[in-house]
A = this chain, B = another copy of it.
Amino acid sequence: MSKAEISKLGHFGLVSTDLEKSLWFFKEVVGLEETDVMNGVHYLRAWGDFEHHTLSIRAGEEAYLDHIAWRTKRREDVDLFAEQLENSGIAIEWVEEGTEKGQGKAFRFKLPSNHTFEIYYDMEKTLASPETRSVLKNQTHKSWNKGVSPRRIDHVNLLSSLPANELVDFMQEHLGFNLREYVEAPDGTYVGAWMSVTPLVHDIAFSFDPNSPSTHEVHHIAYWLDNAQDLLRAADILKENGIFFKGPGKHGISQAMYIYAIDPGSGVRLEIFTNGYLIFEPDWEPIRWSVDEMDIGFTYWGDQMDANTENNPTIKA
């Protein structure tokens, strides 16, 4: 039987200390569509997302990313991954079907950093309501209904007080991710690593900061816009709604444009993201950036985040 494979980043499960404010931020300001509410969990997706949801939000006493979900390539890969991970001594925990609206069989496990991943295959492909449905058969919702209006989920960036090396190894060995770009300190420590199973430069990135409050922080979650100028429009919208953000700017690594905005409800950082390059080469050599080259790697140009993690509060995952 062939090796289990991940097809794509599926969704984020967010817990917010101020559910109402998080819903206002993600629905009205960012402009995600709500497909369902069940047991106090709100299920959202962007207008071009094809699955039932790419973000769920529920209330909690502490804000954190409950789980980051990855969809497998085949239905049987869920069991296969479970088996392979357990064989490697990694504990898994099954999530009963239907616990998460629209989702089939799934399990969760923890990275060496203690970040929580979920593996699933089956997920409803809910149609949009007639009022918000696009006139196009290949698009879920009308675009530009409200707010920033990103097209789809893009990636996640995890922050840790552990060097990224061990996480990169884990992702390659257990989940089949490819290393695409990385920043390496003179002593061999990976300060940052960008990895993917798709031609996107990253479905996931790992950031290392020894001063990180824990091993399992979320640097940001990201949604995609089609055009750089949509990002400038996003900046206007964020500013007019009193949202704190950094950017716009352009990364050297990934060549993508960014804005980093803070959800005032949960404190999670949302990257609004566009442009960048795709990797179709089967023999891609990971791009190595030395610490000296980090500046242009992180910021090709534009407004940037304060490098100091202490000034950039994060939430746990």
Contacts and interface: CB of A to CB of B under 8 A. Distances in A.
B142 A282 contact: no
Nearest to A287: B138
A73 B250 CA distance: 31
Interface string A125-146: 0000000001111110011100
Interface residues of A, number: 67
Contact of A135 (B230, B239, B278): B239
A317 interface: no
Interface in A267-312: 275, 277-278, 280-282, 287-289, 293, 296-297, 300-304
Contacts of A73: 282
A240 B142 contact: yes
Contact of A138 (B72, B138, B237, B277): B277
Given A152-B278, A235-B301, A248-B302, 4 more contacts: A142-B240, A144-B233, A228-B229, A302-B303
A289 to B, nearest CB: 7
Nearest to A259: B301
A303 B303 contact: yes
25 contacts: A2-B2, A7-B280, A8-B280, A50-B281, A73-B282, A134-B240, A135-B296, A137-B252, A137-B287, A138-B252, A138-B253, A139-B277, A143-B237, A144-B237, A198-B280, A226-B228, A226-B275, A227-B227, A229-B232, A232-B232, A248-B302, A249-B303, A302-B302, A302-B303, A303-B303
How many copies of this chain are found per oligomer? 4
A235 B250 CA distance: 9
A45 interface: no
Contacts of A229: 227-230, 232
B135 A240 contact: yes
Contacts of A213: none
A192 to B, nearest CB: 13
Given A135-B296, A226-B228, A8 B281 contact: yes
Contacts of A228: 226-227, 229, 232
